[in-house]
């Protein structure tokens, strides 16, 4: 069983909710990415999303755009991200998803990239700008490699399109709880319960809700409506605050542990 699928099966069996964490790979450098991944695993993270740096991250707000820029400046490339994942796999089995734009797959070759990712220890891909209507070959390649294609559903997604997207997802469905790009918010969306209910009508896949969750209180609130929550910008912002400081890992992982404890308190 794929590590993402197994983790959500274990969460379901234990009656717990999950925590998905996003960081930009190579921000501030790949050694930090490795160390943060191991610390996050110890802190209770269920799935780690690694953003592969890209020059035109159109789905991202300013916090994650700057993280991508820092990743590029540190010399991070897709092959180096995969090499870092191989290092992580020597010490951790935390499920890993690559948050990536299609140009990077296309440049290498979709078949080759998927095979290389699977060999390195990746468990799923979230390709931001690949619509399901154009992903038939991609999905077949992903299935052959044992990887989960993660798809996004937004508040503006029409019912007919939810019916197309949801059944094609594997691992979990990522519900984007707000319109627009990634970023921290002062309060959570009021339509999460309604939208997760609509998604569940089309798929039994676990739902992870993200975009805008900024603190433990919000994490606890959103976790009542979903199988998992996703936190990215609030963590990336803390990485930006510390940069190459020696206390980067304990500072950021301490915040992540607070999020994990909040989510675990929800049954």
Residues designated as active site? 49, 60
Give SS3 for 175. strand
Measure Cα distances from 247 to 97, 110, 231 in Å: 26, 38, 21
Measure Cα distances from 143 to 66, 93, 139, 166 in Å: 33, 20, 6, 16
Judge residue 106's burial from the number of C-beta atoms within 10 Å of its C-beta, 0-12 exposed, 13-18 middle, 19 or more buried. exposed
The DSSP secondary-structure symbol of 150 reads P
Among 110, 128, 155, 133, residue whose Cα is nearest residue 49: 128
């Amino acid at each position: 069983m794929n590590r993402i699928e197994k983790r959500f099966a274990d969460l379901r069996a234990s009656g717990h909710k999950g925590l998905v964490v996003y960081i930009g790979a190579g921000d501030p450098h790949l050694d930090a990415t490795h160390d943060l991944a191991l610390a996050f695993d110890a802190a209770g993270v269920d799935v780690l999303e690694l953003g592969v740096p890209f020059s035109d991250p159109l789905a991202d707000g300013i916090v994650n755009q700057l993280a991508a820029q820092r990743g590029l400046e540190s010399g991070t490339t897709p092959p180096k991200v995969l090499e870092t994942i191989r290092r992580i796999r020597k010490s951790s089995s935390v499920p890993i998803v690559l948050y990536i734009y299609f140009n990077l797959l296309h440049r290498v070759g979709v078949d080759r990239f998927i095979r290389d990712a699977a060999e390195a220890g990746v468990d799923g891909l979230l390709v931001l700008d690949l619509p399901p209507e154009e992903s038939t070959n991609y999905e077949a390649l992903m299935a052959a490699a044992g990887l989960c294609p993660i798809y996004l559903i937004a508040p503006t997604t029409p019912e007919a399109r939810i019916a197309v997207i949801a059944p094609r997802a594997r691992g979990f469905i990522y519900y984007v709880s707000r319109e627009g790009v990634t970023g921290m918010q002062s309060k959570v969306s009021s339509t999460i319960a309604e939208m997760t209910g609509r998604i569940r009508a089309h798929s039994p896949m676990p739902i992870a809700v993200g975009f805008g969750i900024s603190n433990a209180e919000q994490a606890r609130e959103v976790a009542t409506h979903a199988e998992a929550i996703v936190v990215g910008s609030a963590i990336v912002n803390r990485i930006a605050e510390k940069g190459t400081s020696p206390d980067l890992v304990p500072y950021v992982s301490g915040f992540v542990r607070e999020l994990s404890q909040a989510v675990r308190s929800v049954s």
